[in-house]
Amino acid sequence: MNIQTVPTDALAPPPLRQLSDTGLTPVMMRDILLKTVFRQNIEKSSDIAQAIALPVPLTQTLIDALRDMGLMQATGTLHATSGSELGFQLTDRGKARALDALGQSEYYGPMPVPLAAYREQVKRQSIRDKKLTRAMLERAMGDLILPHGLLDQLGPAVGSGRSVLMYGPPGNGKSSIAEGIRKAMGDNIYIPHALAYAGQVITMFDPIVHTPVNQADEHAENSPLRKNAARHDTRYLLCTRPTVMTGGELTLSMLDLNYNAVSRTYQASLQLKSTGGVFIVDDLGRQEEPPQALINRWIVPMENAYDIVALQSGEKFEVPFDTLVVFSTNFHPNEIFDQAALRRIFFKVKIDGPTQEQFLKIFALVAKKKGIPLDQASLVHLLKTKYPTIEHTYANYHPVFLCDQIKAICDFEGIPYQMRPEFIDRAWENLFVKDEKIVH
């Protein structure tokens, strides 16, 4: 798991003082504890507390209740590494109850957060309250050479926390700009391990999407030597604002809850995981689903700040939609959307190819990075003989492609990296495929 160490600056969910503060039923909490102990084979109350993401005192209260019910018992041994901490284990009745509970749902581990409580936390850390300045956006995109005036358009769009459509010819940095938007967010929010609704548990935390922040005192909160109350609800993890990036693989089903019929558990949808962060749809128009169908799926969430999902039973309910959605496409918007859909996308930003001057700057930076000395004759040859054949249409990806080709040529010829007009010719042949008919 990738853990970043950055300052704690998010508005924390209130800490748990008593079991009723969890908002969960006693039966759900007891069953999750039993399943967790059974599956993870843990004994110490501090280890159990860490596994179910509750403070030690509340975990001990649950254990005591289970002991009174004859479902758990003390092992009668003290752990040498834990001072006076007793060990606990399931009784035969406890094991039977754990197996019965696992038969209903395989979920075990951190206690979930009720959906209603999570809605309140989303409001505390809403991306729409994130103040994004020009300086922040410039820092995040400092390694990009951007078209003049782009930040003037992009800044208000991103700062609003509303949907953004970036369009333009391929290979001009729309994906890199989208990644820069993510970097510009830069702060932290609290992500629950799981959510609870109507007796069902929906796993929320995804290590691919969420990057936890290393808090100095986080590991000490469940220590048997420190049983004072935690500073925040320990069912949440402090993470950097999440980013979900999808491309041609995106389907409508990914935007719904994912139910596993074998384990009888739910996993949050992609856009629910992106709550409080950025959802980037790259290469819109390359998916199996028509772009209009994807946009139609987002109309209600983007306008009303909530999404509607369904359980296997068919019951539908609302979940927060607090997400900056960034669409990136190589098609003109009028080709793939109707006017009603375009009206619902708050900002439209065209990303054009670079000018000749910008192209040369990019080429020089790329060549330097790849260790290829610039050669004036080669650059003149490129600009005077090659680009006229494509009407001087420059693209941001061309320098990287051409330099990589030149490196491959030099490696093959067994010579130091260098730029020659004939190498430009050989590299250019691979940049485009000649339009011709293949006779079979």
Among the listed ranges 9-18, 175-184, 210-219, which one has the minimum average pLDDT value?
A: 210-219
Among the listed ranges 66-80, 116-130, 376-390, which one has the minimum average pLDDT value?
A: 66-80
Q: Could you read off the pLDDT of 290-308 as tens digits, one per residue?
A: 888 888 888 888 888 899 9
Q: Could you read off the pLDDT of 241-274 as tens digits, one per residue?
A: 898 888 889 999 999 999 999 999 999 999 999 9
Torsion angles phi and psi, residue 387, rounded to 5 = -65, -25
pLDDT of residue 81: 54
Q: Are the C-beta atoms of residues 395 and 431 closer than 8 Å to each other?
A: no
Band of residue 180 on the pLDDT scale cut at 50, 70, 90:
confident
- pLDDT score of 5 more than 70: no
pLDDT of residue 152: 83
- pLDDT score of 83 more than 90: no
**In the chain, what is the greatest distance between 2 CA atoms, to the nearest angstrom?**
87
Higher pLDDT, 423 or 216: 423
Band of residue 82 on the pLDDT scale cut at 50, 70, 90:
low
> 236 has which bridge partners?
192
Among the listed ranges 60-69, 168-177, 278-287, 294-303, which one has the minimum average pLDDT value?
A: 168-177
Mean pLDDT of the chain: 87
Q: Are the C-beta atoms of residues 37 and 90 closer than 8 Å to each other?
A: yes
Long-range contacts of 145-154 (CB under 8 A, 24+ apart): 145/354, 145/358, 145/361, 145/362, 145/365, 145/396, 146/173, 146/177, 147/351, 147/352, 147/354, 147/358, 150/177, 150/349, 150/351, 153/347, 153/349, 154/181, 154/349
**Strands 243-246, 258-260: parallel, antiparallel or unpaired by DSSP?**
unpaired
Band of residue 431 on the pLDDT scale cut at 50, 70, 90:
confident
Say how far apart CA 384 and CA 382 lie, in whole Å: 6
Mean pLDDT of 303-327: 92
- pLDDT score of 345 more than 50: yes
Q: Could you read off the pLDDT of 38-73 as tens digits, one per residue?
A: 999 999 999 999 999 999 999 999 999 999 999 999
Mean pLDDT of 70-87: 74
pTM (two decimals): 0.80
C-alpha count within 13 angstroms, C-beta hemisphere, residue 235: 30
